[in-house]
Amino acid sequence: MARAATTSDVFNAIAEPQRRDILVLLRSGEWPVTEVARELGMSQPGASKHLRVLRDVGLVRDRQVGRRRLYGLEADGLRPVHEWTGGFEEFWNGAFDRLEAYAQELEAGHDEEEQR
């Protein structure tokens, strides 16, 4: 089965590391495309393309302010990702619990050896 186009699927859109970097940057507020490009060390056309993809999947909003267009984060668009990754919370909690129990066993064994 072919993957969905990056312009229609949140998961594919955030698979691109530069798009994730843009989302992290936009957590701090609205940015014009030129500043996004400068801050992340990419070309303005490249930043524009990434912002367009993120806007098309609902992760970024834009608004005109005078002659500038500002881009901001639409965190609600990440809900499907959050819900999907949340399904792994039980797995990770169990893994960390097992790791903690193992570390305690090792520590208890080490303490017994020191007492001998």
Residue 96 and residue 67 share a domain: no
Domain that holds residue 67: 1-73
Residue 109 and residue 67 share a domain: no
Residue 69 and residue 19 share a domain: yes
Residue 69 and residue 42 share a domain: yes
Residue 65 and residue 25 share a domain: yes
**Residue 26 pLDDT grade (very low, low, confident, very high; cuts 50, 70, 90):** very high
Strand partners, 63: 70
Residue 5 and residue 20 share a domain: yes
Residue 14 and residue 54 share a domain: yes
Residue 102 and residue 88 share a domain: yes
pTM equals 0.74
Residue 98, class by beta-carbon neighbours within 10 Å (0-12 exposed, 13-18 middle, 19+ buried)?
exposed
DSSP state of 1: -
pLDDT digits (tens, 9 = 90+) for 53-107: 999 999 999 999 999 999 999 999 999 999 898 888 888 888 888 989 899 888 8
